[in-house]
Structure formats: C-alpha cells, structure tokens
Amino acid sequence: MTRKLLGLTVSCLAALLFAPVATATPQAAAPVRLVPEPSSVVTLPGQVFTLKSTAHIVAPAGAAATGQYLAGLLRPATGFRLPVTTISLPEDIGLPGDIRLTLGGPSSLGSEGYRLTATPVGVEVSANASAGLFYGVQTLRQLLPAKVEAKTVQSGPWTVAGVTVRDTPRYAWRGAMLDVARHFFPVPQVEQYIDLMSLYKMNTLHLHLSDNDGWRIDIKSWPRLARYGGSTDASRGPGGFYTQDDYSEIVRYAASRHVTIVPEIDTPGHVTAALASYAPLNCDGVAPPLLNPGWSSLCVPLEITYKWLDDVIGELAAITPGDYIDIGGDEAVNTSAADYKYFVNRLQAIVTAHGKKLMGWHQVEAGDLAGSALADYWGTAGSTDDEALAKVAQARGNKLVLSPADKVYLDMKYDANTPIGQDWAGYNSVQDSYDWDPATFVPGVADDVAGVEAPLWTDVFPTWDDVQFMAFPRLPGVAEIGWSAQRTHSWDAYRTRLAAQGPRWDVMGVKYFRSPDVPW
Ligand code: TNX
C-alpha cells in the first residue's frame, strides 16, 4: 500500500500513525447476496472489512451529497459519528478503515455504473457520476448486516465481505408506478416507496395522479379538482391530495435518491373526478356525482377541454423537472376511435408546448406521436393487438417501457390463496415477476425497449400495509430485470439472494409477503 504523506496535516498524520493496524484477521462476514445481481462480483476469500467508530467517509466535493446520504444511512444503527470529509489531496486514499467515494472511473461505467472494493483496509466506491456512487452505496448497504437498517443503535460488528464489484445497468429505465388516485397515500409513504426502490437501484417513479375515484394534485387555476375531486377514494374514504409544495417535496426527495418522477394525468378516460368537479367539462354541461360508476370520457369536441388541459399540464410541467408528462390514454372505452386520435394529437401539442415529452399507456400509439414519445406497454404475453401497437411505436422510434400485466402488475394476487388483489391477468407469483426477459417479451422490439416498470394499481388496496404486501417481494425482481445482465439470470440463484432481503425488511418494518417460493 503506498500513501502520500507529503502535505498531510499533523493531526491527520497522528491519526494515521495511531489508527488501528488493519489486519486480515478474519471476522465473519455475511455471504455476498445482492439484489440486483451486479455485472461482476469477485470475492476476496478471508478478507473482511469492519466498519469502526473511528471511520470517516471521504468524499470529494462532487460526491459530498452521496457521502452525507451514506453517513445518514449508517449513523442510526452503528451509533458512529462517521464524519464526512472532503480531503482532496492528490492520490490521497484516506486512512485505514475509511469509506472512500471517488469520482472518476473508466468511461465504460457510464453515468450509473460503479466499482466497489472492500478489503480489511477500507472500502472504496468509484464512479463517473454521483448516480453511480449512489448505486455503489446501495451495494455497500446490502453487504452490511441487515440490522444496519435499524433506527436505533445496534451492536456490531459491522462487517463487509472482502469483494470487488464492477456493475453497470442493463436498462436506463427502471421504474415503478404507484396509483395514488384510487387510494391516496401521503408524502411520507411515497418517500418510503422511493427509498425502497432506490435500495434496488430503480430510478423512475411514475405517479398515477388522477382517475375516476380521485384527483390528487392541486391545480391552482382549477382548485375544485383537488378539493372536491380529491375528497374521496375507491373505498368512499376521505381521499386527499398533494399541494404543489407536497409534490415538489416528493420530486426533491426523489432527486436526492436519483429517482425521476413522471406524473400521470389519465385522459381521455378515467376522468370522473375531474368531470364531477367542473360541470363545463361535460358534453351536457352536467357534472356527474363523485364515484359515478362506469366508464368516463372527457368531452373531445368541447374547446374548454383543451383550455383546461393546457392549464393542468402547464402547472404540472412547471413543477416537474423530468422530461416526461404521462397522459394515460388507457381504456378509453367511452371515446370513439376518431375522437381518441384527435384528442391525443391535441394533447401532444399541449405537452410539447410546455417543454415536455409525451408518455402514455401503449394505446396512445393510436395518435400521431412524435419520435420522442414513450409508450408504457401493459399487454400480456402474445396479445396481438397490443403487439401491433408496439410495432407502431417501433416504426416511429418511440421507446417502450415494459409493464406486462401478466408479469409485473403488482396488484395481481400471488396465487389463489392471496387474501387481497386482482386476478384478471392471472396470478403473478414471485417467480413470474422475475422470470422473463424484456428483450423477448414482445417479439421483434428488443432494441426499442427503454426498460421496465412495475405498476401498483390500488383499486382494491386502501392501506399502506396492502401496498407493501403486494410490492414485496416482487418489486426487487422487476428491479433486477431492469438492472442485471441477462447472463446473470437464474431463478434459483435469485430466490436465495432475495431471501437475504427478508431480515432487512424485518428490521425496516416492511410488511412483505413471505412467499413459499422463497427460502427465507
Ligand atoms: C387496468 S392497466 C387499468 C387500471 C386498473 C388495473 C387494475 C391500465 C393501463 N389500466 O386502470 O387499475 O387494470 O388491475
């Protein structure tokens, strides 16, 4: 080990001299069981890193936020101070026992890849960009004992198996969708979901903000949308909505975890809450009651429909830093094909005018979409109508996000015994949600796949416990499908790695389904 002493301050030097000598004396460390599986893992037999109370987190300026985030993760359970320092001496490698984050690595790591090395001397995570460092930190988190997730001080030792990891994602889009319209979930719960997504290196959260049952984002120019349209839910409960400040807080929190928020306003169907809030949006000028049963549609011939959409999309675009606004577009059962196409074309112009790109469920391909549009594919295996629309997307250069209902719809029951959930797309077992290949699910579009998304519709889930029970343990499987190379794909290996997540969720208080398919 070479170390540049020149230029070290005296106190630094003293700390160096009196630091406990790092040894390879083996302390037990848990086996390396990561989700998602990295591109390459080389274990260093007999080598163990132990995090001690004297450790620093060394993070240069560009990595300081990730350093602080890591310290915030580790301090509650370890009780260690873990000061984050920005020592930037050339070739400084920190003191023995430190965790060091460095920016700068081979360009092949891209913007999300990282390298992690853990030896008795220290842990080093390097990446080209802070997203990569953040993902390296998630890997380090999973290498530590599960009790590191505790919010109160636990006894160590805080060991990490000696390892070298090199890791890059398969797909750029690794998403989840949360339906906060059927049932409303307040900011802290959405933030918990974001935290759990980021533990598995997911980077996009699509929020389904409006539906028949409720409107969940305040639109200042049309205040009754949230105040009246958001005043109930699919269980006839009290509903709720996000103020624009709430939404901005979610966006900010997500960004701090390298997650982009994609807001969805579902149109032209799934709009009862909006129609109930403003009579002039209705073709007959009469507002239906909230929770009016049956299919709904915006009034395509009315000009006020587009004035309203321009206001809604304008306000939403102004508080959404991400590229995409999702216009829904699914199940427009009460809209004629001609009206649907006209409508999508007009709404696309509105989204574009507000500086955003259009995303929608893949039915939006019935409109004349620009090449920048993104289609969220929710078809089931072998569905020829849906596959035809995927081909339309491909011809236009629209990328596909794969959310196949018979694989990753997290509202489907796991099996016949699941006490809650739907089954119209069949049962989605833990294995089903993991055991598929995005490159072949829709034949002939492998190069047009942007990535994957796991939607969680909440039609029948009023509680946050329900949401957790349906998402876990399936969500990490979708995360792995999005991140890990196909050559690492193995249900047998995956279920063992997944089992290692259980104790972590127990510590975190995540209410997951203890599927009999997983050797917990
Ligand atoms: C279909 S999938 C829907 C949702 C429901 C879901 C229930 C899609 C784009 N639309 O409105 O919540 O089924 O599984």
> Using CA positions, which residue lies closest to atom 4 of ligand 1?
457
**Is the C-beta atom of 448 inside 6 A of ligand 1?**
no
Q: How confident is the model at residue 89 (pLDDT cuts 50, 70, 90)?
A: low
Residue 514 domain flag: no
Range of the domain at 455: 173-508
Asked, as a colleague might, if the bond just before 268 is cis with ω within 30 of 0, I would say yes
Residue 1 domain flag: no
Q: What is the pLDDT of residues 351-360, one digit of tens each?
A: 999 999 999 9
Residue 254 domain flag: yes
pLDDT above 90 for 14: no
Say what the pLDDT of residue 11 is: 37
Same domain, 147 and 179: no
* Residues forming beta bridges with residue 360, ordered by sequence position: 375
> Using CA positions, which residue lies closest to atom 10 of ligand 1?
330
Phi then psi for 30, rounded to 5 degrees? -65, 150
Residue 300 domain flag: yes
Query: To the nearest whole number, what is the mean pLDDT of the chain?
Result: 94
Atom of ligand 1 nearest to the CA of 424: 14
**Residue that is last in its domain, among 117, 136, 167:** 167
pLDDT above 70 for 26: no
If you measure from the C-alpha of residue 457 to the centroid of ligand 1, how many angstroms do you get, rounded to a whole number?
7
Same domain, 215 and 110: no
CATH number of the domain encompassing residue 101: 3.30.379.10
Same domain, 261 and 402: yes
Say what the pLDDT of residue 93 is: 55
Cα separation, 41 vs 37, in Å, equals: 9
**Residue that is last in its domain, among 114, 146, 167:** 167
Atom of ligand 1 nearest to the CA of 331: 10
Same domain, 183 and 276: yes
Taking residues 226-232, report their average pLDDT: 98
Q: If you count them, how many residues does the chain have?
A: 520
What percentage of the chain reaches a pLDDT higher than 90? 92
> Using CA positions, which residue lies closest to atom 12 of ligand 1?
457
**Is the C-beta atom of 457 inside 6 A of ligand 1?**
yes
pLDDT above 50 for 24: no
Same domain, 81 and 204: no
Residue 500 domain flag: yes
Residue 248 domain flag: yes
Q: How far apart are the first and last CA of the chain?
A: 40
Say what the pLDDT of residue 232 is: 98
If you measure from the C-alpha of residue 137 to the centroid of ligand 1, how many angstroms do you get, rounded to a whole number?
35
If you measure from the C-alpha of residue 361 to the centroid of ligand 1, how many angstroms do you get, rounded to a whole number?
10
If you measure from the C-alpha of residue 264 to the centroid of ligand 1, how many angstroms do you get, rounded to a whole number?
13
**Residue that is last in its domain, among 167, 192, 220:** 167
Residue 513 domain flag: no
Residue 292 domain flag: yes
Distance set, CA 341 to CA 51, 338, 358, 375, 426 (Å) = 59, 5, 14, 15, 31
Same domain, 115 and 180: no
Active site residue 303: no
Atom of ligand 1 nearest to the CA of 459: 12
Same domain, 157 and 257: no
Q: What is the 3-state secondary structure (H, E, C) of 424-476?
A: CCCCCCHHHHHCCCCCCCCCCCHHHEEEEEEEECCCCCCCHHHHHHHHCCCHH
> Using CA positions, which residue lies closest to atom 8 of ligand 1?
330
Tell if the pTM clears 0.75, that is, is over it: yes
Q: What is the pLDDT of residues 426-472, one digit of tens each?
A: 999 999 999 999 999 999 999 999 999 999 999 999 999 999 999 99
